[in-house]
Chains A and B, each alone.
Chain A
Amino acid sequence: MMELLQALEGSAFSIWVREAPTVWAYPTVLTLHTAGLAVLVGVNAAFDVRLLGFGRQIPLAEMERFFPAMWVGFWLNAITGAMLFAIDPITKGTTTIFMIKLAFIAAGVILIVMLRRAVYGRGREAATVTSAARAFAVLSLLVWVGAIATGRLMAYV
């Protein structure tokens, strides 16, 4: 495992993203990672608070269109996240806090799937807010706070 992480850290791609003297390398990847986070978590949070009773005038059926936006944010961050891992694999691959962050993200993504199923499982027009959906919404908000906090703490390890 350590050999693999070392090989990745020494790869040409890793060195370019880490050390290229241009804003199009590391700074741009990091900015896209922040933008993707804002879209994924922000749109998910907007959906969560709707389930928790805010903005009830927003037609629930129409809010199913929020989900593709969440997936755009997710894939943007999966790609930029893989790049950020590639430039610093030895530290990240051996840090507990990074593993906790990944666990939070996995839980957040599973909750997106469960939220959609709970609300739109019987079709878009039959969309309802069940108590299970509300519980998923609360969990989703908590899990994303955890992911953001552990992500920020990565800068201090």
Chain B
Amino acid sequence: MTLLEEFLVAVMAATSLDESLVLFLKATALSQWVVSTPWVWPLCETLHFIGLTLVVGIIGPLDIRLLGFMKNVPVAALKTLVPWAVAGFVINLVTGVIFLAAAPEQYIRNLSWWFKVLFLMIAGVNVLLFETTQRSRMLAMGPGEDTPAAFKLIGGVSLVSWGMVLYWGRMLPFLGNAF
């Protein structure tokens, strides 16, 4: 962990990516507003937790169905609740950008944050793969049917990657430098 962290810091210093990005974000009006308004941060934290709750509560059961459990519930039926998870994700994207703008050095120089971003990307690619390659197969599936291997793989990757997003998010202050 420390070695990886040193590597990250060295790469950032060599490319001067972190200097320019931190300075740019701190100069934004959004950043200055959040820093000077004490209630914004706790409000955004609360919203961020509500958003994560929606993602886990809607996507979790869907992943479990994709893994082959709860066979009497059609996959397509569970998918009709996904807009709630998307709403949760958008809340977290917006509040996440607010955190990043307000305290960029806490995240950009934090290995836990990069792991979180990595798993967000894995989760995103996984959703895109499902929607582009498995959609017609999903709509054709009736209740009581077992899921094909591709569904199980995508459900498993989703469950693990969202779990990792939550884990690395929570680890920001402990395995990194946040707060």
Contacts and interface: CB of A to CB of B under 8 A. Distances in A.
Interface string A17-45: 00000010011001100110111011111
A105 interface: no
Given A23-B175, A46-B61, A49-B81, A38 B56 contact: yes
* Those 8 A-B pairs whose CB atoms lie nearest each other, nearest first: A42-B57, A57-B77, A38-B56, A27-B174, A55-B81, A42-B56, A31-B170, A42-B53
A69 B152 CA distance: 20
B79 to A, nearest CB: 9
B73 interface: yes
Interface residues of A, number: 38
B70 A38 contact: no
B89 to A, nearest CB: 13
B166 A35 contact: yes
Nearest to B163: A35
Given A54-B84, A62-B72, A156-B42, A41 B53 contact: yes
Contacts of A55: 77-78, 80-81
B84 A59 contact: no
Interface of A: 23, 26-27, 30-31, 34-35, 37-39, 41-46, 49-50, 54-59, 62-63, 65-66, 69, 144-145, 148-149, 151-153, 155-156
A151 B48 CA distance: 13
Given A27-B174, A31-B170, A152-B42, A41 B73 contact: no
Interface of B: 42, 45-46, 49-50, 52-58, 60-61, 70, 72-74, 76-78, 80-81, 84, 143, 163, 166-167, 170-171, 174-175
A46 B143 CA distance: 20
A153 B70 CA distance: 37
Contacts of A37: 49, 53
Given A23-B175, A27-B174, A39 B42 contact: no
Given A44-B57, A156-B42, A49 B175 contact: no
A117 to B, nearest CB: 21
Given A31-B166, A38-B57, 6 more contacts: A23-B175, A34-B166, A35-B166, A43-B57, A65-B70, A145-B50
Contacts of B72: 59, 62
Contact of B46 (A23, A62, A149): A149
